[in-house]
Amino acid sequence: MVAATSTSAKSRIVEAAVRLVARGGIAEASLRKVADESGINIGSVRYHFGTAEGLLVATAEEIGARMSRRLDSALPEPVVDRYATGPRGLVEDVCRAVLPVSESDRPELIVLVELIHAARLRPEFRTLSTRMGDDLRAVLRRVLEAVRVPDATMEAERLNALVGGLTFELVYPHGSHDPDTLFVVLRRHIAGIVPA
């Protein structure tokens, strides 16, 4: 194993945690297993993150930051200047930004769902989970207001519930894993609330 003190070491550790959680749930992300998976000694993992919980929170924050970057690119400022795809296309782009469906992005979605699920019983994840949910609602409300959807606050809640359901469908075995079908569902919902 190699000693780790740099930002790239922290990134390697977080990526190792993402892989482990995606494969086996949050119980798999012990400091020892993350050290083995990342190829970085356990002392360095402890130095950077302290505890397994600290590492998982940092992992969720990194996934949230990636999601924010995708949202920023889907929702540039000022919002009203982005109509190349029309109002419905704009809303769909924003929703797609939080539903990474490629095989390379799927682990992020799994980790996010695992941590949200864990927040029900583990208070160390609640604040982060609540903040991420509030941030998503705010972005959805902002884009719906920009495209002049009546009662944007309530419609953002409905859209948030749909995105959450689609996320669940993509992650869990009982769901539809066909992104094309799920995006048809998303498109139809958006068509019902966003003026053409």
CATH of domain 1-50: 1.10.10.60
Q: Note if the pTM is more than 0.75.
A: yes
pLDDT tens readout for residues 118-158: 999 988 889 988 998 999 999 999 999 989 999 999 999 99
| Half-sphere CA count of 171, side-chain side, radius 13 A | 25
The phi, psi pair for 85, rounded to 5°, reads: -100, 5
CB atoms near residue 189 (< 10 Å): 19
CB under 8 Å to 56, separation ≥6 — which residues? 17, 21, 26, 29, 115, 118, 125
Residue pointed to by tokens 């903040």:
131
Q: 60-193: same fold as 1-50?
A: no
Where do the domains of the chain lie? Answer: 1-50, 60-193
Do the beta carbons of residue 20 and residue 37 sit within 8 Å?
Answer: yes
Peptide bond into 78 cis (omega under 30): yes
Burial of residue 55, with CB atoms counted within 10 A of its CB: 0-12 exposed, 13-18 middle, 19 or more buried: buried
d(Cα 41, Cα 27) in Å, to the nearest integer? Answer: 19
Tokens of 67: 């999601």
Residue 83 is predicted with a pLDDT of 59
Tokens of 118: 């864990």
CATH of domain 60-193: 1.10.357.10
Query: Does 13 score more than 80 pLDDT?
Result: yes
pLDDT tens readout for residues 21-45: 999 999 999 999 999 999 999 999 9
d(Cα 169, Cα 195) in Å, to the nearest integer? Answer: 27
